[in-house]
Amino acid sequence: MNNLEIKNLHVLVGDKEIIRGLDLTIKTGEVHAIMGPNGSGKSTLANALAGHPKYEITAGKIIVDGKNLTGLGPDKIARAGVFLSMQHPPEIDGVTVNNFLRTASETLAGEKHNPIKFYNSLLKKMVELKIDKNFSKRYLNVGFSGGEKKAMEIIQLLTLRPSYAILDEIDSGLDVDALKMVARGINRFCGPKTAVLLITHYNRILKLIRPDYVHIMKAGQIVKSGGPELAIEVEKRGYK
């Protein structure tokens, strides 16, 4: 079975070690949730997995489908099937959502797409998620609300179809309707050939996307793992 393996991972940010010997295996067909207090290293883990240059891996390995991706750049990691939904995606003026997604998809596929077919496919996804069609013509994240930025991340996920989706607080700041839209998109993505690592502070999204495993992270390590009931316990009692 294909999987994403994190083995004894240590990550340095500046001169401070944030991830301190973390182990985790995520198999395709599974949904894993990571919860934890602020400063526990959740976002550092997500960025390190995606190859962000600010996050220095000093020990350990990241292995995807048997290939060692440790230390590779974001482009090579993306080509290996790993996708990161960022907490704060950048604004790119002058580049429409449609053109951005088509270019990204062509880069990963290594071939050109028929522009009309691609556009129609994109519109179909937007209709399914109940997103205004005019969204496709807007400049990427420019003037987007928080919910619209999250919608953009979900559309990217469904368009690029990676094997492994790392979703860093994609539920943060969403109202009820936006949260349901995000959950619909993630549930549509889930399947036997894909896997999700969902980083969140709250159990509310886990009521809409049922995880197979929930992990609690503190001080750069996973300190406890369990099933969906662990998220309910955290909601009631906190992390103490």
Task: Determine the topology of domain 3-237 in CATH.
Answer: Rossmann fold (3.40.50)
pLDDT grade for 1, boundaries at 50, 70 and 90: low
This prediction has a pTM of 0.93
Query: What contacts 24+ positions apart, CB below 8 Å, involve 77-83?
Result: 77/49, 77/50, 77/51, 78/50, 78/108, 78/162, 79/108, 81/162, 81/163, 81/164, 82/4, 82/49, 82/50, 82/162, 82/163, 82/164, 82/166, 83/156, 83/157, 83/160, 83/162, 83/164, 83/165, 83/166
**82-141, pLDDT tens digit by residue?**
999 987 888 899 999 999 999 999 999 899 999 999 999 999 999 988 888 888 999 999
